[in-house]
Amino acid sequence: MRLVKIILPKAWIQDRKRDYYYRKAQENGYRSRAAYKLLQALTKYHFIKRGDVVVDLGAAPGSWIQVAKRIVGRKGFVLGIDLKAIVSFPQEYVRITIDDMNDSEIVQRIFECLPREADVVISDVAPNISGVWDVDQARQIDLATISLKISLEILRPSGNFFVKVFEGDMLNGFITEVRKHFGFVKIVKPKASRPKSSELFILGTNFRFINEKNESP
Ligand SMILES: C[S@@+](CC[C@H](N)C(=O)[O-])C[C@H]1O[C@@H](n2cnc3c(N)ncnc32)[C@H](O)[C@@H]1O
């Protein structure tokens, strides 16, 4: 019998992979395949711990909330914020609010929901994609910058920050900004993030609270 080597197109392999995380999310009861991006980053960097207070910006439909709540447990707290409604969770330590991160009173409203300052801010917030590359990258960096600003107000000293960005011209400037405020900064590309997508995540740990809140830069 003759053996024929079949070379599979890259796009086909990538689509299969996407389906793999989509199916896995469905099998494991996650609301979105995005759960695996956070899970994979956490497996490597452990930036959410039991008992933590976590704020999830751009949280709908809620798979990052599912991941975070499982880790923080009853002694922790998770607040999910999105423009869209999120189906609620039965646990009393999970709270959801419909809000716009651009709102001038967002920090105050977040504090009204939290039991104390946040240990971790995670942000998967994303704009509606226009298809125009420059526009989408700029919007994503804008949202990441708003996520950073909110984090600087609500994080405890040594807290952690994990945010989605797109590769592009504006990324280095954003990373420089994150470096000013966090002791350790890392660019993360989880396997569940499609290889052909320009999506990346920036992790900042060990928030330099004293410098930011009590001293001028
Ligand atoms: C990729 S989804 C988040 C998925 C989520 N991490 C999960 O695992 O289910 C991005 C979310 O950002 C939200 N979003 C975009 N702009 C926002 C804004 N200005 N304020 C709040 N949420 C926003 C969108 O409504 C959308 O639900």
What does the alpha-carbon distance between residue 87 and residue 2 come to, in Å, rounded to a whole number? Answer: 55
Tens of pLDDT, residues 94-151 = 999 999 999 999 999 999 999 999 999 999 999 998 888 889 999 999 999 999 999 9
pLDDT category of residue 209 using cuts at 50, 70 and 90:
confident
Query: How much is the pLDDT for 161?
Result: 98
Burial class (CB in 10 A: 0-12, 13-18, 19+), 93: middle
| Contact call for residues 186 and 200 (beta carbons, < 8 A) | no
User: From the CA of 217, how far away is ligand 1's center (Å)?
Assistant: 31
User: From the CA of 200, how far away is ligand 1's center (Å)?
Assistant: 16
Say which of 17, 24, 49, 164 is annotated catalytic: 164
pLDDT category of residue 32 using cuts at 50, 70 and 90:
very high
DSSP annotation of 169: T
Tens of pLDDT, residues 53-94 = 999 999 999 999 999 999 999 999 999 999 999 999 999 999
Q: For ligand 1, which residues put their CB under 6 angstroms from it?
A: 31-32, 34-35, 58-64, 81-84, 100-102, 124-126
| Contact call for residues 86 and 62 (beta carbons, < 8 A) | yes
User: From the CA of 169, how far away is ligand 1's center (Å)?
Assistant: 23
Return the ligand 1 atom nearest residue 64 CA: 8
- Among the residue ranges 11-15, 97-101, 144-148, 178-182, the one predicted with the least confidence is 11-15
| Contact call for residues 56 and 64 (beta carbons, < 8 A) | yes
195-211 burial, b if ≥16 CB within 10 A, otherwise e?
eeeebbbbbbbebbbee
Q: Is 164 a catalytic residue?
A: yes
Q: Which of 125, 128, 139, 200 to mutate to test the pocket of ligand 1 (most atoms within 8 A of CB)?
A: 125
In the chain, the domains with their CATH numbers are 34-214 (3.40.50.150)
Q: Which of 48, 69, 82 to mutate to test the pocket of ligand 1 (most atoms within 8 A of CB)?
A: 82
